[in-house]
């Protein structure tokens, strides 16, 4: 965990490699529209034997299980399941509003730690790691590759992120459109953002991604974004932008809270309707603890017992 609330370091992101050992990137829900999780750590596309069953007309004669056929006297055919290597794409929002917090650490720091934990976990499972880092003025893409050096390349860029001082706000449409273009079918796609600017065009891109990949949305937010204090005037700075807030106005406080709740409701409806997983992480929470609740080893073992 970063000791600096506004910036993380490469050393701190590398150290998250140890905490990643308690995570496993398995889905919490079974997807019905695609063929499911990959089955083994063997790389390359191939077929893994599943079971033998009685031969049916139309079965490939090359898959006849001659041993079972000889033993039972009835023709059996082998059934196979496809082995899958699953690229993990991590999309990290580094727009100006991410460099903010009133409690804990900047949303950008939380996002960097979440991305690093996911990248290290994927690396330890033998998966390829790729993705994107985007802000108002720049878009960096990382092709999915295996190996520690690839992860180090990604987290090195994360450790050097700074807020753009003079920017025009952008929606998530363009980053999500680019993500749709680079995310291979069958991937695990993780989007880490505060999801400001999630308009219908951006949501459509996420829907398109979810049709052929598993999608994990990680919503990063500061407690002040959920509700204002009861009284007082506050000045909030986003780089060169300064926002004056009058928390004494009850109607304004209600409007402020409703605006945040609408964003959360939109995310929840989007994830529910299109079989995406949604995780919330506050700036005063531990990213490792949040991910462990969702992807923890103990949870995986409990599902296996069930």
Q: Where are the domains of the chain?
A: 86-305
pLDDT in tens, 217-254: 999 999 999 988 877 777 766 555 666 777 777 888 88
Show the DSSP H helices in the chain as ranges. 10-19, 66-72, 107-124, 148-159, 173-182, 200-210, 223-226, 250-273, 287-295, 297-305
Report the mean per-residue pLDDT for the chain: 83
- Note the pLDDT of residue 68: 92
Q: Give yes or no for a contact between 228 and 203, defined as CB atoms under 8 angstroms apart.
A: no
Model confidence at 21, in pLDDT bands (50, 70, 90)? confident
How would residue 255 be classed by pLDDT, with cut points 50, 70 and 90? Answer: confident
Give me the CATH topology for the region 86-305. Rossmann fold (3.40.50)
* pTM (2 d.p.): 0.77
Can you tell me the mean pLDDT for 11-21?
A: 93
Contact 229, 249 (CB under 8 A): no
Instruction: Count how many Cα atoms sit within 13 Å of the Cα of residue 22 in the half-sphere of its side chain.
Output: 13
């Amino acid at each position: 965990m970063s000791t600096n609330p506004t910036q993380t370091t490469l050393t701190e992101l590398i150290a998250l490699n140890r905490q990643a050992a308690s995570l496993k990137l398995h889905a919490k829900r079974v997807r019905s529209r695609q063929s499911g999780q990959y089955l083994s750590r063997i790389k390359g596309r191939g077929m893994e034997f599943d079971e033998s069953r009685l031969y049916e007309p139309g079965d490939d004669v090359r898959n006849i299980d001659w041993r079972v056929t000889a033993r039972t006297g009835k023709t059996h055919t082998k059934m196979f399941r496809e082995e899958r290597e699953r690229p993990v794409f991590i999309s990290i929002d580094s727009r100006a509003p991410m460099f903010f917090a009133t409690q804990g650490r900047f949303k950008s720091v939380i996002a960097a730690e979440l991305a690093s934990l996911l990248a290290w976990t994927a690396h330890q499972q033998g998966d390829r790691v790729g993705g994107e880092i985007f802000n108002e003025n720049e878009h960096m893409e990382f092709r999915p590759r295996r190996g520690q050096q690839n992860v180090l390349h990604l987290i090195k860029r994360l450790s050097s992120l700074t807020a753009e001082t003079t920017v025009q706000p952008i929606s998530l449409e363009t980053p999500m459109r680019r993500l749709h273009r680079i995310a291979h079918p069958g991937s695990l796609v993780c989007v880490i953002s505060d999801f400001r600017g999630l308009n219908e065009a951006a949501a459509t891109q996420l829907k398109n991604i979810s049709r052929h990949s598993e999608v994990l949305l990680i919503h990063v937010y500061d407690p002040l974004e959920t509700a204002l204090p009861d009284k007082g005037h506050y000045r909030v700075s986003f780089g060169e932008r300064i926002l004056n807030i009058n928390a004494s106005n009850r109607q304004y406080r209600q409007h402020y809270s409703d605006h945040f709740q609408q964003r959360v409701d939109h995310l929840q409806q989007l994830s529910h309707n299109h079989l995406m997983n949604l995780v919330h992480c506050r700036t005063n929470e531990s990213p490792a603890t949040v991910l462990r609740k969702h992807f923890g080893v103990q949870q995986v073992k409990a599902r296996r017992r069930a």
